[in-house]
Amino acid sequence: MVDCNYQLVMKSYNVFSLFVIFVIPFICHSQQSQIDSLKQVISTGNQENDVLKAMNNISMEYVRTDVEQAKFYLWKAKYLGQKTNNQRYLSSTYSQLLSINQNQGQIDSAMIYLKALKDLSDGAVGIDADIVKGNYYSTVGLFYKKSGRVKEALPNFIKSYEISLSRSNLSAASGQAINIGNSYLGLSDFSMALTYYLKALEGFDEIKNQKGQSFCYQNIGECYIEMNRFDSALQYINKSIMLKEELQDKRGLGNAEQSLGRIYMGLKNYDKSLEHYFNALAISRELKLSTDEVKINQHLGKVYAFKNDHDSALNYFVKSKELAKNLGDNASMYSTDLEILALKKANVQESIVQDSMLENIQIFKDMGSVSKEAAAYKNLATYYLGIKQYEKALDYTNRYVALNDSIRNNEIQAKFKTIEENYNKANNEKQIALLQKDKIITSEKIKQQRFWLFLFGIPILFISLGIWMLLYRNKLKQRMKEVQFRNQIAADLHDEVGSSLSSIYLLSKMAGDKTLANREEILKKVSTNAQETMDKMSDIVWMLKPQEHTRLKERMERFLHDLCQARKMSYTFSADDLDTLHLSMQQNKNVFLIFKEAVNNSVKYAEAIALNIIIAVQNKKLHMHIEDKGIGFNESTVLKGNGLDNMKSRANELKGELKIVSGQKIGTTVDLSFPLS
């Protein structure tokens, strides 16, 4: 069964291992984020109440995975709660510490917190009084239930349930309904147990609480196990497991493993049952849940007894009894005694057995644990059959059958079915009503959407059309610029290349006269003009489609390398920023021609021994710095020569600024900058 003090949820340990490997990495991020958020509140929170709340919440997260961390935060919460006298959160802190200590077998410590919780409840006043009292009754109920005193647990759960209903707290009321159901299950009143489980499920469905839903499916499955309807039980346990995997509740998965162990034991698949019980045992030891270990060890003993491995069975029964004794769980201790008795058979003196077992049976009657009483009769019958006391064996067998039939007869089975059918019918009617409501809401939303679509659609259409026309106009304007640029290139091609070709033609005609004295010089000039024409043609083609040849940086570097190598000049060239730029054809052309003219002047006329070039982007501007270590020139006498006017004209086209600084024997510096937008 599932105790509602913690948020349940889990599956088979083998499946759990696969889940950890493949699924949990995605879920863990969400859970870790929640823990990190709570830690942030704890470390930086200015409000003590917020810090207290965060400490309690983070301990609830850690209690399923790291009990020591949970205790660490609870101790801090206890100190702060006592200091601020915050009854509400101090009550929650005591409750969690009590549960952890009881689960770990530290009963003395648990009793200390139980007394502290009672004192706090008795003295509670103000708006939080009902919350503190409700928490006290719930915690006491769980304490009694874990100790096997189910009859004493039930009225406390009912009080806590009533307080939650009076406060209209559906989540808390649904949680207490589960605890009430668990109590009725322990008292073998399966119909009442199912009734409260379905009440809880209805509440958790309404508030869409997956943790609560997983509790309910787990416990409904337990109901069916008690009724020996193992196929139905398996369906509900698997529903619970799906939610528990999603919620990543290790303790809940441990509970699911126990249920699967019981189911397969009932189906007589003992190897499968052992597999699930050992998975559950590993989880309970990891989380230090001694109360769970008691039940798991007892069931392991039962499975081995069914397999006729009496030594292993006895070993686990003894372990269960020792743990139950340490926890003060008399019910589990007495029921284990009966299991051990059934194994030992003739090794125990009959009179001792008779007195001891009848005393245990009376205890079960007083506790209202009908299932344990029936199991006791069955074990006594097995014991007397083993020592060939057939009359007594028959007597206790008849008692077992009669009592077992009283809690699992056809009438109860039919009532069980009716309760579930009524719940399903009511749930279906709710779903239909919700669907109809959703249909009406959807219809209204569609009407509203159509109205707003009409209201805003026409203006949006006109705005969109205007934007499209503006974009189209800009695109057309850009194309016109490109056409103008290509026309300019065509004019350059006609003027510069045409004149160069005319010059080559005339010089070639002159060189045809073999009588001329300077014929060799004319032929050299023809060769030079032809090379210059080829270079101009290459530049023009590149300017039109630079992507089909080389990018601007590469073309600059190649031109610089070829020119400097021919003159045996050293140079440095840094232009990494050009790799990420997308300049227009006009910009490419002007930048390259300014660069080419400046470099050409430095190499040919400045008698420079070194050339330094840096091109970089800064503040959304392209900066080009060209510096030579040459003889320099007098700006007043050379300003209109060597293409300097062309360089300034191209800088103006770029809407940029060109600075030329030169002096004799100090070299020349050319700086170009223009905006990139």
Instruction: Encode pLDDT of 480-533 as tens digits.
Output: 776 766 666 666 655 556 556 666 666 676 666 666 667 677 677 667 667 666
List b or e across 544-574, with b for residues whose CB sees 16 or more CB atoms inside 10 angstroms. Answer: bebeeeebbbebbbebbeebbeeeebebeee
Identity of the amino acid at 314 = L
Task: Judge whether residue 350 has pLDDT over 70.
Answer: no
- Identify the pLDDT of residue 580: 82
Strand partners, 622: 617, 674
Instruction: Encode pLDDT of 118-140 as tens digits.
Output: 999 898 888 889 999 999 999 99
For residues 270 and 306, is the Cβ–Cβ distance under 8 A? yes
Task: Judge whether residue 32 has pLDDT over 70.
Answer: no
SS3 196: helix
Tokens coding 512: 């045809």
SS (H, E, C) 522-579: HHHHHHHHHHHHHHHHHHHHHHHCHHHCCCHHHHHHHHHHHHHHHHCCEEEEECHHHH
Burial of residue 126 (CB within 10 Å: 0-12, 13-18, 19+) is exposed
- Identify the pLDDT of residue 550: 54
Work out whether the CA dihedral 462, 468, 469, 474 comes out positive or negative. positive
Work out whether the CA dihedral 71, 73, 79, 80 comes out positive or negative. negative
- Identify the pLDDT of residue 31: 57
373 or 185: which carries more pLDDT confidence? Answer: 185
Over range 50-57, report the average pLDDT. Answer: 87
DSSP tag of 329: -
- Identify the pLDDT of residue 294: 92
Determine the Cα–Cα distance for residues 150 and 329; give it in Å rounded to an integer.
11
- Identify the pLDDT of residue 561: 87
For residues 22 and 31, is the Cβ–Cβ distance under 8 A? no
Residue 618's contacts (CB-CB under 8 Å, 6 or more residues apart) are: none
Tokens coding 292: 């769970």
Determine the Cα–Cα distance for residues 626 and 594; give it in Å rounded to an integer.
10
Burial of residue 508 (CB within 10 Å: 0-12, 13-18, 19+) is middle
How many angstroms separate the Cα of 327 from the Cα of each of 94, 108, 145, 293? Answer: 19, 10, 12, 11
Question: Average per-residue pLDDT in the chain?
Answer: 80
* pTM across the whole model: 0.52
For residues 20 and 260, is the Cβ–Cβ distance under 8 A? no
Tokens coding 109: 């410590």
494 or 188: which carries more pLDDT confidence? Answer: 188
Residue 566's contacts (CB-CB under 8 Å, 6 or more residues apart) are: none
- Identify the pLDDT of residue 582: 81
For residues 277 and 319, is the Cβ–Cβ distance under 8 A? no
Backbone angles phi, psi at 185, to 5 degrees: -65, -40
* Residue 524 burial (CB count, 10 A): 13
Identity of the amino acid at 503 = S
Among 554, 644, 572, 573, CA closest to 605:
644
Half-sphere exposure (Cβ direction) of 447: Cα atoms closer than 13 Å: 6
Determine the Cα–Cα distance for residues 403 and 232; give it in Å rounded to an integer.
23
Task: Judge whether residue 47 has pLDDT over 90.
Answer: no
Determine the Cα–Cα distance for residues 389 and 382; give it in Å rounded to an integer.
10
Determine the Cα–Cα distance for residues 642 and 649; give it in Å rounded to an integer.
13
Q: Hey, what CATH topology would domain 545-675 get?
A: Heat Shock Protein 90 (3.30.565)
Work out whether the CA dihedral 115, 118, 124, 127 comes out positive or negative. positive
Identity of the amino acid at 292 = D
Determine the Cα–Cα distance for residues 672 and 590; give it in Å rounded to an integer.
11
pLDDT bracket for residue 25 (50, 70, 90): very low
Residue 504's contacts (CB-CB under 8 Å, 6 or more residues apart) are: 526, 529, 530, 533
β-pairing verdict for 667-675 and 621-628: antiparallel
pLDDT bracket for residue 236 (50, 70, 90): very high
- Identify the pLDDT of residue 264: 94
Task: Judge whether residue 239 has pLDDT over 70.
Answer: yes
Among 656, 657, 605, CA closest to 634:
605
- Identify the pLDDT of residue 499: 57
pLDDT bracket for residue 11 (50, 70, 90): very low
Q: In what order do the strands lie in the sheet with 610-618?
A: 570-574, 610-618, 621-628, 667-675, 657-663
Residue 152's contacts (CB-CB under 8 Å, 6 or more residues apart) are: 144
Ramachandran region, residue 103 (left: φ > 0; alpha: ψ -120 to 50; beta: rest): alpha
Least confident of 58-62, 152-156, 196-200, 374-378: 374-378
Instruction: Encode pLDDT of 199-208 as tens digits.
Output: 999 899 889 8
For residues 64 and 250, is the Cβ–Cβ distance under 8 A? yes
Instruction: Encode pLDDT of 312-339 as tens digits.
Output: 999 999 999 899 888 877 778 878 887 8
Determine the Cα–Cα distance for residues 369 and 358; give it in Å rounded to an integer.
15
Task: Judge whether residue 65 has pLDDT over 70.
Answer: yes
- Identify the pLDDT of residue 272: 95
Determine the Cα–Cα distance for residues 500 and 105; give it in Å rounded to an integer.
105
Instruction: Encode pLDDT of 612-649 as tens digits.
Output: 999 999 988 999 999 988 888 776 665 555 578 888 88
Least confident of 205-214, 227-236, 241-250, 538-547: 538-547
Where exactly are the structural domains of the chain? 328-424, 450-530, 545-675
- Identify the pLDDT of residue 494: 54
| Rg from Cα positions in the chain | 46
β-pairing verdict for 610-618 and 570-574: parallel
SS (H, E, C) 252-319: HHHHHHHHHHHHHHHCCCHHHHHHHHHHHHHHHHHCCCHHHHHHHHHHHHHHHHHCCCHHHHHHHHHH
Instruction: Encode pLDDT of 464-483 as tens digits.
Output: 888 888 888 888 877 777 67
Instruction: Encode pLDDT of 389-438 as tens digits.
Output: 767 777 777 777 777 766 666 555 656 666 666 666 666 666 666 677 77
- Identify the pLDDT of residue 20: 33
For residues 264 and 273, is the Cβ–Cβ distance under 8 A? yes
